[in-house]
Structure 1
């Protein structure tokens, strides 16, 4: 029997926590996962029908350069769990106002060897009958993107981890973590490990002060919709679409593989408590409704079938950098950021596991996870790992 390389407690069973557990198990560690609810937890931000994945990252070019490896890491995970919960396709961007987006995307996509091209504005009404064409200045198609199916990924990954020997502690709310002793207190009971990883999403600041200066919870609203009858087929055949207007900015995921049409926006509230409800109020939806009316034709004719709140952690500044840092001598904090957590979850979990295993330095891991390495530095780190 292979000797364990040590015991690691992972706090949080969203994509970041489960991916970290997966990467640690693959390296021979013994792993325990603590989650305040069921596993997977419907209250977790990771628990969703579909999420966007892509290579185009606008001004966040460091993350664009991480995405090829993020795609490969998902393929490795899919191979392990025995199911490929990913629908590849193009992603279309609809630009309405002057935004600093096209030039960095063109630079990154060219460097990565990924295809992109402009779509003539005259083609939009026929190809995208749901799109409001007023104010459009540019439409760009970027290839090698698509949709991930989170609930299915989390469920199958949980099964795989359980079969691999991970000890799950569901309904175990962590109250305290000691980063020097390697202890976790959950439901009044103390548990000890060689290392602890906090991957608690929007609850992170309740467990550690380490990233409180950098990230805050953000209450975000999304809507699931039924389109007007004459647009049902158009939406069934639609790609993932992102509107980059200053006022109209939205993202939309079409109904594919048993999911519903979903729209949301990328304007962060930087407010709210993750222990709050998940029901979107009229105030929560005010900005999204205004934006959607500018992005989609006849939006008032869409029927809302669910109004939902999720909580992200987002940076206090506009950088949207992941906060992945060592805490004390025995703990790591893995704080995803700004809705990018799911597409990068397995890659970030791999990075933390590599640091715990001594394959990369703490400093390099923090810089890499924040997207602040040059492509050459990131490639060298990947090769070393």
Structure 2
């Protein structure tokens, strides 16, 4: 039975393990912390998923991603997904806004324009000054990562996947198919590096392609007057140049979360996960423009997470060496597309698709997206 060694137990590593275990592979997963690891970028209360994606090519991948989530939820016996509408706000004219509507048309995902004049009444938490257009669409919602990671790891263990928690991999040999840990060298037929912001330390070639980025998010309690509005709110994307934010409303077991769209491209993933004032200046400025009376919100947590980012915001997923694969997500794409990308890597390892096509497919080049 072929043996695959996976470095990283975030959504990328666990999804790949899931896809390989279903194909009969012997799989071992190495994680430098506990499983799941609270320091991993995958570890979060809730994350957006959506069909809206502009013209990048990822919109065409999203129906397949939703289908893989359905299969994963069936396997783990729990549906950790809350379907919600997505409200998209345009302030300055932006090509992404129009191209997103065009991609929704091509995918037959329903959406409707929202009159700017009615926004304040329908969504009283918004600051509507400067909003030039808006639409609400279906085909979106929030995933619950912590719950998913826990249930998926339990399910994988039941399939025979071997976990090495609190086991730091110090080196990989992508030609020999080995990983080095404190206890020595472990050998497999294939090694998959899915170590998030730490991946470049094991695969130096990744440094020219993707950069670890320190990102701040806020968990908040809205003022009492807006609590009901937020409980009934959609997911919100504001794509304004200065007000650019995303907001996930509080759902059962989660808090209101707000972040921005800018990548810092700085920081060390070994740092702590508490955001300081220097991390939050841009986010506070944007949130004050996006949301009415933002200074009345109570901060519950100032959190740091680390992503890898690329100049074009596309995945870096490809074979390396004679027995290796690198699997590096880009920003928030990583979670919503995790099972689909894991399936793609497993298909390449199993010889079901050409390994040489993996990089272009995972990067969602429009010609290859289907």
> CA–CA distance in 2 between the matches of 1:229 and 1:110?
38
Q: TM-score when scaled to structure 2? A: 0.99
2:268 maps to 1:273: yes
Please give the residue correspondences for 1:9-158 in structure 2 after superposition, counting only pairs within 5 Å: 9-60=5-56, 62-158=57-153
- Aligned residue for 2:204, secondary structure, equals coil
CA RMSD of aligned residues (A): 0.9
1 CA distance for matches of 2:96 and 2:359? 26
Alpha-carbon distance in structure 2 between the residues aligned to 1:96 and 1:187: 53
Kindly indicate whether residue 345 of structure 2 is the aligned counterpart of residue 352 of structure 1.
Answer: yes
Deviation, structure 1 residue 110: 1.1
Post-superposition Cα deviations, 1:90-116, rounded to whole Å, max 9, x if no partner, equal 100111112221221122111111112
Q: Distance in 2 between matches of 1:36 and 1:235?
A: 37
Q: How does 1:238-249 map to 2 (within 5 A)?
A: 238-249=233-244
| CA-CA distance at 1:363 after TM superposition | 1.8
Moved over 3 A (4+): none
Distance between the aligned counterparts of 2:331 and 2:221, measured in 1?
26
CA distance in 1 between partners of 2:205 and 2:350 (Å): 22
User: Given that residues 55 and 103 in structure 2 are in contact (C-alpha distance below 8 angstroms), is that contact kept between their aligned partners in structure 1?
Assistant: no
Of 241, 246, 252 in structure 1, the residue corresponding to residue 247 of structure 2 is: 252
**How many aligned positions are there?**
370
In 2, distance between residues paired with 1:286 and 1:169?
39
> Deviation digits for residues 320-353 of structure 1, max 9, x if unmatched?
1100011100000000001110000000000000
1:264 alignment counterpart: 259
2:232 maps to what in 1?
237
Q: Does 1:212 align with 2:207?
A: yes
Equivalent pair of 1:59/1:100 in contact (CA under 8 Å): no
Unaligned 5+ segments in structure 1 are: 380-385
Residue 332 of structure 1 is matched in structure 2 by 325
Aligned-partner Cα distance in 2 for 1:356–1:322: 18
Asked if 1 retains the 8 angstrom alpha-carbon contact of 2:90 and 2:97, the reply is: no
* Aligned equivalent of 1:172: 167
The answer as to 2:270 corresponding to 1:311 is no
CA deviation profile, 1:290-328 (whole Å, cap 9, x unmatched): 00000000000000010000000000x2x1110001110
Q: 1:257 offset after TM fit, Å?
A: 1.9
Write the distance in 2 (CA, Å) between the matches of 1:344 and 1:210.
Answer: 23
1:210 positional shift: 2.4
> Is the deviation greater in 280-289 or in 121-130?
121-130
2:27 aligns to what SS in structure 1?
Answer: strand
Distance of 1:105 and 1:221 partners within structure 2: 26
User: How far apart, in 2, do the equivalents of 1:106 and 1:288 lie?
Assistant: 27
Structure 2, gaps ≥5 residues long = none
CA contact (8 A) 1:210 1:327 kept: no
1:229 & 1:31 partners in 2: Cα distance?
A: 49
- The one-character-per-residue Cα deviations of 1:1-44 (angstroms, maximum 9, x if unpaired) are xxx3x000000000000000000000110000000000000000
Contact 1:173–1:187 (Cα < 8 Å) also in 2: yes
- Map residues 219-230 of structure 1 onto 2, 5 A cutoff: 219-230=214-225
Q: How far apart, in 2, do the equivalents of 1:362 and 1:274 lie? A: 30
The one of 282, 289, 303 aligned to 1:287: 282
Give deviations 1:176-229, integer Å, cap 9, x for gaps. 000111110012421000000000000111000222111000000000000001
Q: Secondary structure at the match of 1:293?
A: helix
Q: Whole-Å Cα distance in 1 between the matches of residues 186 and 231 of structure 2?
A: 49
Distance in 2 (CA, whole Å) between partners of 1:97 and 1:49 is: 31
Matched, 1:322 2:318: no
